[in-house]
C-alpha cells in the first residue's frame, strides 16, 4: 500500500467516510514487506498499546497518527497476525483493556447472504438486528442491517459515545447487508445506525428495523435485548390451539387497547404493565366468557395517538407496558386461562418519522419511490414496496416472528383494502394502473397470499383475519382455490347496515328493514367475523349506547336486543372494550374506561347479558358449528316490516339441537305470536334480553314453550310465544 493510499484511508477513517473499514482497520500483514501493522480509530483516547491476548504481554505501542484519534504501529517481532487486545489510555489517565472489533471476521454465512438477497429467508430476525453472543470466547453483540445503497453504515450507541467513526460496519455487496461484531456490548445498551448517504452526507440516526426492544417513547433508540429463545409454560394450550380457531368452533373476541382499558386509580396517567394486565385483564376476559383477546397494535410506535397503527419497530413489543419477558408472561397468562391472543398487525403503511424506515439508506428502500404508490394520502404515511423481495420478506418474517417467538395465536391484518387497490383514497390521476390497466395491486396480492401460506405452513393453528371493507372476492378462501388465504374477514357491511338500522327510531325502522336482512344475502360468501370494533366508538361517532334511540330504558333495551341479534347471527364475534357494559361516552385513548358505571343497574344489565351470551354461544353448537354454511341458517320471518320482527333458526352438526331466535325491534310487547320450528320438542328460553336481571321489563316465556304439530312459516311445527319490547329471545330445543 503506497503512502498516498494510506493517507487517504486515514482521512476517510477520521472523517467517517471509510467504506471498507475491515480492509484497513485492525491487524493486517503487508503483502510485500510481511510487516504486521495495527490501525485503530479511537477518538478521545490518549494512547493505545497492543497486547498479546493470552499472555497480556506488551507487543507494541501505537503512534498517534492524527489528533482526532487515529493510531497505528508495526509489531516489529511479529511474523504473522495473532490474537491481540488493545490497552487504551483515556484522556483522564485511566486504562482499560478491550477487544478490537476489527479483528473478527464476518458472521453472516453464504447461504444466509444468498437467501437474504433472494428475499426467501424465513428467519431473518435470527440473523439481522442485534444479537448478544460470544465469538472466539469473547462476549459482545453482532449487529446486521440491510442498507444496500448506503456509502457507509456504523453502529452507534451508549458503548461507543455515539461516534460513527468507531464501529463502521462490513458490507456484503451481493445482498446489501452490513454487519459487525462489537465486543463488550451488554444487555440494555442502546444503539442506532449511522448511515452515510451515497452522496456523502449523514442521514438522521436510524432505529434498528429488527430491534427486539426499543426505548419507551418519546425516546427513539433501539435496545440491546435478550434474543435467546423463551422457555414457555403453555404446552397444553399450544397442543390444542389449532382446534380453537376453526370455523366450526365458537370465537368471541374482546378487542383491547392496553393503555386505556384500565389505569391505576391513584395515578390516572400511569399505564398498567403487561404483568398487571395479566393479573387483571385476563381473569376479567375469562369471567366474561370471551375466547380471545385482540390487542390493538403493540409493535413499538412513536405517536401514542395513533393507537399503534403507525409502528416503527415491528419486532419490538412496546416498552410502554414493560419488557419482552413481561409481554411473554402476559401471553402465558392468557393461554393458562385458555384464551387465545390475536394481534392487530399493520403491513399496509408506516410513518415517516426520521428515525424509522423512511428513506432508510437515503433511498426509497422500504417504500415505493413514486408517491402515487408510496404515499398514503389518507393517513400521511408511507406504503411498503411489496414488489421488492427483501421488503416482502421483512414483513412476512415479522408475521412469523410474533407467532413463533411470542406464541401469538392470530393476526388481524389492518387496512387490507388499502393494500389491494392502487386507487384507494386517490383521485383520478393520482394513481398508477397495473400492467393490465386496472386498479388491483398485484404485488400486494402476491404478498398477502405468500404471507398467509407461510404463516399457516410454519405456524399450524394460527389464524389470520382481514379487515377489508369492499366486495373483493375470496378473501377467506385458500390460495390454492384462488383466494387470499385468510381464515376470516371482518364483515364491515353487516356492521354498517345493522348499526344504521339500530340508530333509527323504532317507528321508522319499517322503512329500513333490509338493514338487518341484507347481510344474509352474502353471509356465506366468506368466513365472516362480526366486528363492533374501536372504529365504531371514535371520531365523533359516540358510544354504542349513545347511538341507540329513545329514553334511557329504550337505549339500553335496544343495545341488549342488538347484542342478542349479533351473538346469534352467523359469523364469529368481536366487541371492543367498554361495549360489554355499555360505556356512555366515546372512547378516549388517554383515559381509563368508565368502570364506575358498573355501579349503575343499566350498565350491570348489559354486563351480565354479554357474559351470558358468551356462555350460551359456547354451549350451543347450533350457534357456531355451521357459521359459514348456508345450511346452518334458515329464515323464519324475514319480511315483517311493519312490526319490525325477525325470526330465524340456527342449526348445528350431527343432530345438534336447533335454536330459534326472535327479535322484536319495537317498544311494543306482542302476545301469542306463532313461529315455525324445524321439529317437535320442548324449546327452552335460554336468553331473553328483556329479563329484569338485565334491566328489562321481565316479559318472558320461562321456562320455555312446546312445539305443536302445526305447520307454520314453511316449517313442520310451530311455537306460540310472547314477544317482550325491544328484545331478542333465544330458544334452544331441549335434548332428550
Which residues are known catalytic residues?
414, 467
Residue 405: phi and psi, rounded to 5, are -75, -40
Q: Which of 169, 160, 232, 165 is nearest to 189 (CA)?
A: 160
Q: Which of 412, 418, 314, 426 is nearest to 366 (CA)?
A: 314
With vertex at residue 385, the alpha carbon angle to CA 379 and CA 388, rounded to the nearest 5 degrees, is 170
- Omega of the bond leading into 631 within 30 degrees of 0 (cis): no
Distance CA 207, CA 421 (A): 30
With vertex at residue 428, the alpha carbon angle to CA 426 and CA 429, rounded to the nearest 5 degrees, is 100
* Widest Cα–Cα separation across the chain: 109
Distance CA 216, CA 292 (A): 27
Cβ contacts of 91-95, under 8 Å, gap ≥ 24: 91/44, 91/45, 91/46, 93/46
* Dihedral in degrees, nearest 10, Cα atoms 280, 534, 288, 332: -50
Say if CB 320 and CB 217 are below 8 A apart. yes
Distance CA 336, CA 106 (A): 42
What's the distance, CA 129 to chain centroid? 19
Contacts of 136 (CB under 8 A, 6+ apart): 83, 104
Say if CB 260 and CB 590 are below 8 A apart. yes
Q: 3-state class of 6 per DSSP?
A: helix
Q: Pairing state of beta strands 222-223 and 528-532?
A: unpaired
Distance CA 160, CA 496 (A): 55
- CA end-to-end distance (rounded Å), the chain: 95
Q: Which of 331, 347, 350 is nearest to 339 (CA)?
A: 331
Distance CA 707, CA 719 (A): 5
Distance CA 321, CA 334 (A): 16
Q: Which of 606, 569, 577, 419 is nearest to 494 (CA)?
A: 569
Distance CA 27, CA 124 (A): 31
Amino acid at each position: 500500500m503506497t503512502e498516498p493510499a494510506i493517507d487517504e484511508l486515514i482521512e476517510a477513517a477520521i472523517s467517517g467516510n471509510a467504506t471498507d473499514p475491515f480492509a484497513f482497520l485492525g491487524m493486517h500483514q503487508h503483502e510485500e514487506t510481511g510487516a504486521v501493522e495495527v490501525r485503530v480509530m479511537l477518538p478521545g483516547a490518549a494512547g493505545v498499546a497492543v497486547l498479546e491476548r493470552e499472555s497480556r504481554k506488551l507487543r507494541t505501542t501505537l503512534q498517534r497518527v492524527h489528533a482526532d484519534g487515529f493510531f497505528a504501529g508495526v509489531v516489529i517481532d511479529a511474523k504473522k497476525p495473532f490474537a491481540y487486545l488493545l490497552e487504551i489510555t483515556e484522556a483522564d489517565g485511566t486504562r482499560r483493556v478491550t477487544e478490537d472489533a476489527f479483528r473478527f471476521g464476518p458472521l453472516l454465512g453464504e447461504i444466509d447472504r444468498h437467501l437474504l438477497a433472494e428475499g426467501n429467508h424465513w428467519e431473518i430476525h435470527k440473523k439481522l438486528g442485534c444479537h448478544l453472543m460470544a465469538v472466539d470466547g469473547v462476549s459482545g453483540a453482532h449487529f446486521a442491517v440491510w442498507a444496500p445503497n448506503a456509502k457507509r453504515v456504523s453502529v452507534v450507541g451508549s458503548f461507543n459515545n455515539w461516534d460513527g467513526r468507531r464501529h463502521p460496519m462490513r458490507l456484503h455487496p451481493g445482498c446489501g447487508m452490513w454487519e459487525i461484531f462489537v465486543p463488550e456490548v451488554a444487555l440494555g445498551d442502546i444503539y442506532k445506525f449511522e448511515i452515510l448517504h451515497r452522496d456523502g452526507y449523514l442521514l438522521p440516526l436510524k432505529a434498528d428495523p429488527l430491534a427486539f426492544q426499543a426505548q419507551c417513547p418519546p425516546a427513539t433508540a433501539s435496545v440491546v435485548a435478550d434474543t435467546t429463545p423463551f422457555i414457555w409454560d403453555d404446552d397444553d394450550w399450544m397442543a390444542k390451539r389449532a382446534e380453537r380457531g376453526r370455523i366450526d368452533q365458537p370465537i368471541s373476541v374482546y378487542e383491547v387497547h392496553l393503555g386505556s382499558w384500565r389505569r391505576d386509580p391513584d395515578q390516572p396517567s400511569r399505564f398498567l404493565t403487561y404483568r398487571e394486565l395479566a393479573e387483571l385483564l385476563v381473569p376479567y376476559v375469562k369471567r366474561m366468557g370471551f375466547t380471545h383477546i385482540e390487542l390493538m397494535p403493540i409493535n413499538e410506535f412513536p405517536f401514542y395517538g395513533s393507537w399503534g397503527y403507525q409502528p416503527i419497530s415491528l419486532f419490538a413489543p412496546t416498552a410502554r407496558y414493560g419488557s419482552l419477558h413481561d409481554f411473554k408472561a402476559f401471553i402465558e397468562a392468557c393461554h393458562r386461562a385458555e384464551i387465545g391472543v390475536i394481534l392487530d398487525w399493520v403491513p399496509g403503511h408506516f410513518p415517516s418519522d426520521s428515525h424509522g424506515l423512511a428513506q432508510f439508506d437515503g433511498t426509497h428502500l422500504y417504500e415505493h419511490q413514486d408517491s402515487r404508490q408510496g404515499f398514503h394520502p389518507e393517513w400521511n404515511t408511507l406504503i411498503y414496496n411489496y414488489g421488492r423481495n427483501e421488503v416482502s420478506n421483512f414483513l412476512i418474517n415479522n408475521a412469523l416472528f410474533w407467532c413463533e417467538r411470542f406464541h401469538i395465536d392470530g393476526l388481524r391484518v389492518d387496512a387490507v383494502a388499502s393494500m389491494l387497490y392502487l386507487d384507494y383514497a386517490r383521485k383520478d390521476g393520482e394513481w398508477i394502473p397495473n400492467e393490465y390497466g386496472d386498479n388491483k395491486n398485484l404485488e400486494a396480492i402476491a404478498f398477502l397470499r405468500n404471507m398467509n401460506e407461510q404463516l399457516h405452513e410454519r405456524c399450524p393453528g394460527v389464524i389470520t383475519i382481514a379487515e377489508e371493507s369492499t366486495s373483493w372476492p375470496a378473501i377467506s378462501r385458500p390460495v390454492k382455490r384462488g383466494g387470499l388465504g385468510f381464515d376470516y374477514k371482518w364483515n364491515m357491511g353487516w356492521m354498517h347496515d345493522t348499526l344504521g338500522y339500530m340508530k333509527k327510531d323504532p317507528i321508522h325502522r319499517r322503512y329500513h328493514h333490509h338493514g338487518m336482512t341484507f347481510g344474509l344475502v352474502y353471509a356465506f360468501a366468506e368466513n365472516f367475523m362480526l366486528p363492533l370494533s374501536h372504529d365504531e366508538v371514535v371520531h365523533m361517532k359516540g358510544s354504542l349506547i349513545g347511538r341507540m334511540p329513545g329514553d334511557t330504558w329504550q337505549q339500553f333495551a335496544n343495545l341488549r336486543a342488538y347484542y342478542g341479534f349479533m351473538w346469534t347471527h352467523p359469523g364469529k364475534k368481536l366487541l371492543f372494550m367498554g361495549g360489554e357494559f355499555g360505556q356512555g361516552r366515546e372512547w378516549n385513548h388517554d383515559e381509563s374506561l368508565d368502570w364506575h358505571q358498573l355501579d349503575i343497574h343499566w350498565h350491570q344489565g348489559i354486563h351480565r347479558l354479554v357474559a351470558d351470551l358468551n356462555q350460551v354461544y359456547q354451549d350451543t353448537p347450533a350457534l357456531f358449528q355451521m357459521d359459514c354454511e348456508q345450511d346452518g341458517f334458515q329464515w323464519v320471518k324475514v319480511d315483517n316490516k311493519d312490526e319490525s320482527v325477525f325470526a330465524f333458526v340456527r342449526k348445528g352438526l350431527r343432530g345438534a339441537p336447533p335454536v330459534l331466535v326472535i327479535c322484536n325491534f319495537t317498544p311494543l310487547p306482542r302476545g301469542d305470536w306463532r313461529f315455525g320450528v324445524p321439529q317437535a320438542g320442548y324449546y327452552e328460553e335460554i336468553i331473553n334480553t328483556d329479563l329484569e336481571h338485565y334491566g328489562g321489563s321481565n316479559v318472558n316465556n320461562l321456562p320455555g314453550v312446546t312445539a305443536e304439530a302445526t305447520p307454520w312459516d314453511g316449517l313442520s311445527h310451530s311455537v306460540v310465544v310472547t314477544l317482550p319490547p325491544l328484545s331478542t329471545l333465544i330458544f334452544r330445543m331441549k335434548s332428550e
